[in-house]
Every structure is written in structure tokens, then in C-alpha cells.
Amino acid sequence: MLKKKGKQVMKMPTIINHKNVGKTWDNLCKSGSGAGGNLVTLEAPLGELAKGDFVLDMLFSQTDKDSIKTEALTGKEGFNAQGLEGKFSVRVPLAFGLMVLRRLPPFRGRVLAGPVKEVKP
């Protein structure tokens, strides 16, 4: 749930992936609440960085390099990735995170919009 000045502006899932990104994007656009500026965590396998996608390039040109974290995959992310690959995570505005997620292939990224209790798929 996103809040602005203490008021609920949009109901939103905690984990946004390829299955619910379209509906979340539509809800964000319809809400007209300015909730797209709320910070969320974008996660994706490191292999996505090597593809040279314009949106990912834009993400990293606008992001402080110290805010990008890399770590090992746990298997609980639900990514279609090799365990050796690892993942990156970065804090971005919700609207930008959804835009990047929509460009990634299925099972290759997610947006975390709140506290997440990891459950292995």
C-alpha cells in the first residue's frame, strides 16, 4: 500500500514480477496520485546488465554507483537464472522500476515494494 502525506493512495503488491507488473502499472497510471516517486527495490540477475538495453543503461547513468548492490542468488527470487550468475539490486522510483521490469524477460526481475518474506517457489 502506498501512502502520500499519511493517506492511502494506491493498493499494491509487495512483490511485483512479470505476472502482475501490467496491472500494477495500470493502477499506478489511473491513480494520478504521484505514487510513482516512492522508492522501491529493483532486483534482476546480473546477466541482464550485459545485454545493453537502453532502459537499463539509463537506469545506471542516473543512479549513484554506490547504491547498486550485488549478491548471490538464493533461489527464492523466482528468477530463471543460474546460481552462479548472482543478482543486482538498486533503489529506484516505483514508476521507473516498473518500466524496467516491463522490459525484462519473464522470470528475470522483480520489484520489491515493501518488506518481503522470502519463500522458495
Mean pLDDT of the chain: 80
Q: Which residue from 121, 84, 118 is spatially nearest to 14, judged by alpha carbons? A: 118
Cα separation of 30 and 92, whole Å? 20
What is residue 121's predicted lDDT score, i.e. its pLDDT? 47
Q: Name the pTM for this structure.
A: 0.80
> What are the domain boundaries of the chain?
2-112
What is residue 7's predicted lDDT score, i.e. its pLDDT? 59
Angle among Cα 49, 72, 68 to the nearest 5 degrees reads: 50
